[in-house]
Amino acid sequence: MKIKIGIFFVLGLIVLVGFLFLNPGKEKSGSELIQFEVISGENIWNTAGKLKKAEIIDSKIYFVWYVYSKGYKGKIRAGEYTLPSDLKVSDLVSILSAPKEELRESVKITFPEGFSLKQMAERLEEKGFSGEEFLKLAQEPKVFAEKFPILEEIPQGKNLEGYLFPDTYFFYADGTTEEIILKMLSNLDEKLKDDMRQAIKNRKQDIYQILTMASLIEKEVRSSEDKKTVSGIFYNRLEKGQAFQSCATLAFILGENKKQYSYEDTQIISPYNTYLNVGLPPGPIANPGLDSIMAAIYPEETDYHYFLSNPETGETVFSVTLEEHNLNKDRNGL
């Protein structure tokens, strides 16, 4: 009995230590600039404690673990820093370990989930970067394929739409467009864990197809739970050879969002028109967030075949039959 209790105690301790070491802390919202000083000769644990007290990090243990495991031991430099409060630990350690002469001004940019390449370019332009150069380089995925093999699946002639992960970034103010794209690609590559990649293979799909599906889901619905259901509906249609009839693809073609699309809109000749063409469109129509990617990989099994979004509330309404769907359209002013 004592041996069993001892085993359970050790296992529990391992789980607890693993959680403390590998949990980076909660996601932060909002940002403020904080003055912070690293004292010469200061112990890394003291630095971590001060960072936590300043609410720059959530976990001292995770910070110290990151410093040691990523090869930054002894590389944290003394000095005064002005730090955003919502830095990722990886970015924070990079700043604290950079030689003083290499410290560069950073610019914070947030790309919302579902932003297209064009919208990202506009946001970069607002922050002083070249949107035109960004769009031009985004047309050349092969330039980045050596560092990111997932890009090799992109068909000839297609761009990086879908692959630039929407998130909040800190880019160097004097950084290059290539550095910006590399950072965004690296973020997606890190988000696609091994189990997710294996699940994609098990579905007999590739990442390009998953990101294409995820982009439709991202533009169609808001909540995480609804995304899983809509994913199941799209896969149901795909299996039965039915058109997706996604209004998001019409918005992509037309370059505008409408409360309701006309019959003429649904007849536009385009490979991206999922009213006329069965199956997935030729590629992603936006850059999806993690919830949408997860929904595309792990769809919910459902008997629903139709859905719509209430234009006022954004609520998703599901239907099993076409008759029920038409009734729901009337009830929701569509």
Helix (H) or strand (E) holding 169: strand 168-172
Mean pLDDT on 144-158: 93
pLDDT score of 235:
93
Write the pLDDT tens digit of every residue in 230-279: 999 999 999 889 899 999 999 999 988 887 888 899 999 999 999 999 99
pLDDT score of 66:
93
- The domains of the chain are located at 30-103, 107-191, 202-331
Q: Does residue 213 surpass a pLDDT of 70? A: yes
What is the rounded CA–CA span in Å between residue 237 and residue 278? 9
pTM flag (> 0.75): no
pLDDT score of 258:
82
Mean pLDDT on 187-191: 93
Going by pLDDT thresholds of 50, 70 and 90, the confidence category of residue 102 is: low
pLDDT score of 261:
84
Mean pLDDT on 140-166: 94
Q: Which residue has the higher pLDDT, 117 or 3?
A: 117
pLDDT score of 328:
78
Structure tokens at 113: 């989930």
What is the rounded CA–CA span in Å between residue 243 and residue 275? 6
Neighbours of 163 (CB within 10 A): 27
Q: Which residue has the higher pLDDT, 326 or 155?
A: 155
Q: Does residue 18 surpass a pLDDT of 60? A: no
Q: Does residue 65 surpass a pLDDT of 70? A: yes
Q: Which residue has the higher pLDDT, 158 or 13?
A: 158
Q: Which residue has the higher pLDDT, 80 or 237?
A: 237
Write the DSSP string, 197-231: HHHHHHTT--HHHHHHHHHHHHHH--SHHHHHHHH
SS3 of residue 245 by DSSP: coil
Max Cα-Cα span within the chain = 76
Write the pLDDT tens digit of every residue in 306-329: 887 777 777 888 888 888 887 877
pLDDT score of 325:
81
Q: Does residue 175 surpass a pLDDT of 70? A: yes
Q: Which residue has the higher pLDDT, 10 or 301?
A: 301
Phi, psi (degrees; rounded to nearest 5) at 30: 80, 160
> Topology of 30-103 in CATH?
Dna Ligase; domain 1 (3.30.1490)
Token pair 């560092």 is found at 147
- CB under 8 Å to 133, separation ≥6 — which residues? 177
Mean pLDDT on 180-202: 94
On average, the pLDDT of the chain sits at: 86
